[in-house]
Amino acid sequence: MIVYSFIIILLIVFVYFSFLLFLSNQKLANSKTGKSSLLPVTLIISIKNEEQNVSGLIENLRQLNYPKENLEIILIDDNSSDRTFEMLNSLSKDSPVLRVLKAENKSLAGKKGALSVGISHAKNSYIMITDADCRPEEYWLQFAAQKFSEGYDFIFGVAPFYTDDSYANKISCFENLRNSILSFGLAGTGIYYSAAARNFGFKKESFVKIKGYSNTIETLSGDDDLLIREAVKNKLKIGMVTNAGSMVFSSAKKSLTEYFAQRSRHTKTSFYYLPKTKLILGLWHLSNLIMLGSVVFTFITPMFLIPFLLKLLTDIILIKNLQKTFGYNFGIMQIIILQITYEIILVINFLNAALRKDVWK
């Protein structure tokens, strides 16, 4: 029985390393932009009860390096109950590229409804999306436009969290890093399933072709992942932007309560991925959990320590090799502790997603 169990774990190790090889071999672009790629872009931001972030948002938008004649920015107030709408109007009144709209009579619930209003008013053919608490880097739109100029229908980029010393922040950042490595790594093999709406875009005609968000209403979340799903189903061209200077930063949740609530919504979206994607992700996460859990059986035979140590070693190598690409810099001890925590929290997030009800703030 012990021999059979160990053979099974070795097979899982083989699957794990085969998959790891795919991830580690992905070449992420780092090219420069050119003026010829500065296409007409509309940036759309859905905003709800964000009065504390509005000033910083407007200041950041003014610093974006993009020709004004090719840029339109639409700020959609999603029926805020605070001073968000008034502040947006006041702070944007002297800008020729900023437009403020109110998401009245939405056809869809939540953020998707507000974004749909903005997209319907967009004058330009290329749409980029981010959030009110996000801070794009200066040349973000230039790299996005360059990718669009290569013929892509949908694009997504890197969206790291700002780091601090709180425990909730460390967990959020590490999970963001692990998810980014997985989603960008699989994208490099042609398997697209996830993107962060904080750094996301598409051709307006391609959005219309897949009927917008109308086929993504299974959850309140999913304005990014489920839209990618629909793009895949319609065989549209999807690309990733990983150039230095193309990131969009934002703040992670400040408490574990907020973190678990957010991850519950996001994890629930994964229930509606394509069957092939769910199978691949299920095998990947299961192999990780089994290798991590193999340490429990070392009292039977020390051989069960081998897959556990192999996993930790390869995690360290993979993360140290790729983390700067995704905006992070974890030390070796942090990687070990957070990797174990991350695997356990995955199970908690899955259970929360299955049991909790979605609530749009």
Q: Express each pLDDT in 198-221 by its tens digit.
A: 999 999 999 999 999 999 988 877
**Quick one: pLDDT at residue 36?**
53
Strands (E), 205-326: 238-241, 248-250
Strands (E), 173-244: 200-203, 238-241
DSSP summary character for residue 109 = S
Task: In whole angstroms, give the CA distance from residue 320 to residue 275.
Answer: 31
| DSSP SS3 for 167 | helix
What does the domain layout of the chain look like in residue ranges? 2-26+273-355, 35-253
Structure tokens at 65: 């390096």
Instruction: Read off the pLDDT of each residue in 224-242 and give the average, rounded to a whole number.
Output: 95
- Binned at pLDDT 50, 70 and 90, residue 75 comes out as very high
Task: In whole angstroms, give the CA distance from residue 349 to residue 271.
Answer: 12
Residue 350 has pLDDT above 60, yes or no: yes
CA-nearest of 263, 311, 256, 314 to 288 is 311
Task: In whole angstroms, give the CA distance from residue 111 to residue 109.
Answer: 7
Structure tokens at 79: 């029926």
Beta carbons within 10 angstroms of residue 244's beta carbon:
16
Give CA separation, 56 vs 66, 162, 277, 327, in Å.
Answer: 18, 15, 37, 21
- Binned at pLDDT 50, 70 and 90, residue 293 comes out as confident
Instruction: Read off the pLDDT of each residue in 140-166 and give the average, rounded to a whole number.
Output: 95
Q: What percent of the chain has pLDDT over 70?
A: 88
Q: Express each pLDDT in 52-70 by its tens digit.
A: 989 999 999 999 999 999 9
| DSSP SS3 for 228 | helix
HSE, side-chain direction, 13 A CA sphere, residue 95: 20
Structure tokens at 12: 């899982």
- Binned at pLDDT 50, 70 and 90, residue 309 comes out as confident
Q: Based on DSSP, count helices (H) and strands (E) in the chain, helices before strands.
A: 12, 9
**Quick one: pLDDT at residue 161?**
97
> Whole-angstrom distance between the N-terminal and C-terminal Cα of the chain?
52
Q: Is the dihedral of CA 247, 217, 74, 264 positive or negative?
A: negative
Residue 16 has pLDDT above 60, yes or no: no
Instruction: Read off the pLDDT of each residue in 93-108 and give the average, rounded to a whole number.
Output: 89
- Would you call 5 exposed, middle or buried from its count of C-beta atoms within 10 A (0-12, 13-18, 19+)? middle
35-253: what fold? Spore Coat Polysaccharide Biosynthesis Protein SpsA; Chain A (3.90.550)
Residue 47 has pLDDT above 60, yes or no: yes
HSE, side-chain direction, 13 A CA sphere, residue 133: 12
Task: In whole angstroms, give the CA distance from residue 317 to residue 325.
Answer: 14
Task: In whole angstroms, give the CA distance from residue 270 to residue 39.
Answer: 33
- Binned at pLDDT 50, 70 and 90, residue 7 comes out as low
Q: What is the pTM of this model?
A: 0.88
**Quick one: pLDDT at residue 108?**
87
Structure tokens at 106: 């939405």
- Would you call 18 exposed, middle or buried from its count of C-beta atoms within 10 A (0-12, 13-18, 19+)? exposed
- Binned at pLDDT 50, 70 and 90, residue 317 comes out as confident
Q: Express each pLDDT in 244-281 by its tens digit.
A: 899 999 999 888 888 888 888 888 889 999 999 999 89
